[in-house]
Amino acid sequence: MLYNEPSPLETKVLSRRFGLPDSASLATYLATEGYQAFLKAAGMKPERIIEEVKVSNLRGRGGAGFPTGMKWSFVPRNSPKPKYIVVNGDESEPGTCKDRVLIENDPHQLIEGVLIAGLAVDAHAGYIYIRGEYRYLIEIVEKAITEAYAGGWLGKNIQGTGFDFDLYAHTGAGAYECGEESALLESLEGKRGIPRIRPPFPAVAGAFQCPTVLNNVETFCAVPAIIRDGGAAFAALGIPRAGGTKMTCLTGNVNKPGVYELRLGFPVMRMIEEVGGGIPRGRKLKALIPGGSSCPALTAAECEGATMDYDSMAARKTMLGSGGVIIMDDQTCMVKAAMRIMRFYAHESCGWCIPCREGTTWLRKILVRFHEGGGTRDDIDLIGDIAKNMLGRTFCPLGDAAAMPTISIVEKFRQEFEDHLDGKPCPFEHADHKWDKPPSLSPGWDKPSGLSPDDSSGARILNG
């Protein structure tokens, strides 16, 4: 189903079937050029497929933006081990909800993308790893997989091409960390979801220690279009060094929140005003997080002239990320925003490495206390300093993800922190878009939140 009205400003490539009757069905898919790209790819040499993806300038849509074609080319073709395709559907980044609509509305597009990747790297099995909280999507995916098997689009000798491929759906248990690719693989293998030491990278030793292509749902969904229409056509949709369109999620203080497919390079202010219908109640933009909560926030001034693409965001020392745009109006308390973000990361830190485990929790405690009026002037610097001590020193990017928005908010909105000092009430608490008041203590050791040592089902063997 769709959750928002489409915008005329969209460029519908990945979302072209959204809104069609029974869009998730194989019949609808086949009636709308479905699986044609696979058949075309089956007649192409694998190197040619990878070349086409490289030409398309497709960059990973999960957040890091690594060129997809290059990633695929790292898979050692002559490895004696089986190779795997793994779809990262662990969409947990706050502000991001695009993979969900892609899976809900057009699962066959994803399956086709996986098949083409399989052709490209000579893999014959794949896994779709779906976020624990999206468990209901499993039904949709499994229905699509069943249909595909029945229609001869999965299994042995697919459509007489001689290509075999098996695809499985797998669900996580609800951990943000499992969106990190190596933690996802651990989780897929049935272990505790903690990241692996890299190198080796998944392309060499991924699922079950075999070469693995691991991409985001949206990345795979873009592949059929690239093969069908050619890499150059896809590249032309975007801007140089960033081809195609981006599923962009507009959230926060915007009149028409939703998922919109926009060309890369789409101007930020136009996106807010025209696609999103502007900010409610005529308020002004205060801050914007462009790609999910792990990206540094931009001030309204910085948004002027910015475009939704990797380079423009990098120039503003932030990231396009996953395309989860969080729009904050002038009545938003930035201290509270930082607190809300940190509550998320402290809750989701897997606990593996010290700086992330302890840093996020410490920051959460300070920010909660600060927002409640218990902050001191030293705390302002301390918040920034703790975040900087985490940045670049954690095992995986989760620590960076927690540190970056915090650093940016403290630096860019320092005055708001000052306004909370000396026991003053939060200047924005009167605002009419109040959030739930957070508990002053989140579940901790004193109040075990779920698993306890008495609960043997919660025990896990680390690293098998």
Partner 1 sequence: MADPVKLTIDGRPIEAAPGTLVIDAAKAAGIEIPSFCYYEGLTLQAACRMCLVEVEKMPKLMTACTLPVGEGMVVRTDTPQVHSARKYMLEFLLTNHPLDCPVCDKGGECELQDMTFRYGAGESRYADEKVHVPEKQYSPVVFFDAPRCILCYRCVRICNEGLGVGALGVINRGAVSEIAPNKGDHLECDECGACIDICPVGALTSGIYRYQTRPWEMTHTGAICTHCADGCKTTLGTRNGRILRGNNRDRSGVNGEFLCIKGRYGFDFYDHPERLRAPLVRVNGKLEEVSWAEALATVAKKFSDTLAAGGSFGVIGSNHTTNEENYYLQKFARQALKTNNIDHHRTGDVAGLLDALGARYDTTAPLRSRLDNGLTSRDREGAVARPTIPGGKEAGLATVSDPNLDNDVARLDNGLTSRDREGAVPRLTIPGGKEARLATVSDLYQRKAILVLGADLALEHPLLSFQIRANYRHHQARIYALTPKAVREDKYAAASIRVADPADSFAALEHLRDKLKAEPELVVLFDDSFQGADIARLVDFGESLGIPVRYVCLLDYSNSRGAIDMGLAPEFLPGYEPSGQPGLRLNEMLEANLDVLWVVGANPYRAQTGDTQQQTGDRRDVSETQTGDRQPIPDAGIGVSPRFLVVQDMFLTETAQLADVVLPAACAYEKDGTVTNVTGETQRLARAVDATGPKTDLEIMGFLAREMGVAADLGPWTPAAVFEEIRARVRGYDLPVATLAAGGAVQTNAVNGRIPAAGSGPQAHSDHNGLFASGTLGRYSKVLNSVLEGRVTR
Using CB under 8 A, list all residues that contact partner 1: 175, 177, 192, 197, 346-355, 357-362, 365-366, 369, 378, 382, 389, 392-395, 441, 443-446, 448-456, 458-463
Looking at beta carbons only, is 35 or 344 nearer to partner 1?
Answer: 344
> Locate tokens 């490289």: which residue?
54
8 A C-beta contact, residue 145 and residue 70: no
Q: Min. distance of Cβ 21 from partner 1 in angstroms?
A: 42
Integer CA distances (angstroms), 436 to 325, 336, 340, 348, 419, in order: 21, 11, 10, 19, 21
Q: Min. distance of Cβ 177 from partner 1 in angstroms?
A: 8
Q: Where are the beta strands (DSSP E) in 258-413?
A: 258-263, 266-267, 285-289, 298-299, 307-308, 324-329
Looking at beta carbons only, is 105 or 182 nearer to partner 1?
Answer: 182
Q: Which SS3 state, helix, strand or coil, does residue 124 take? A: coil
Strand (E) or helix (H) holding 392: none
User: What is the DSSP code string of 348-374?
Assistant: H--S-SHHHHHHHHHHHHHHHHIIIII
Q: Min. distance of Cβ 464 from partner 1 in angstroms?
A: 8
Strand 245-252 to strand 266-267: parallel, antiparallel, or no bridges (unpaired)?
A: unpaired
Q: Min. distance of Cβ 339 from partner 1 in angstroms?
A: 13
Looking at beta carbons only, is 150 or 451 nearer to partner 1?
Answer: 451
Integer CA distances (angstroms), 311 to 70, 186, 215, 301, 314, in order: 18, 32, 21, 18, 5
Q: Min. distance of Cβ 416 from partner 1 in angstroms?
A: 21
Looking at beta carbons only, is 92 or 349 nearer to partner 1?
Answer: 349
Looking at beta carbons only, is 378 or 432 nearer to partner 1?
Answer: 378
User: What is the DSSP code string of 158-211?
Assistant: GGGSS--BEEEEEE--S-GGGGSHHHHHHHHTTS---PPPSSSPTTTS-GGGS-
Looking at beta carbons only, is 47 or 385 nearer to partner 1?
Answer: 385
Q: Min. distance of Cβ 332 from partner 1 in angstroms?
A: 25
Q: Which SS3 state, helix, strand or coil, does residue 141 take? A: helix
Q: Min. distance of Cβ 438 from partner 1 in angstroms?
A: 15
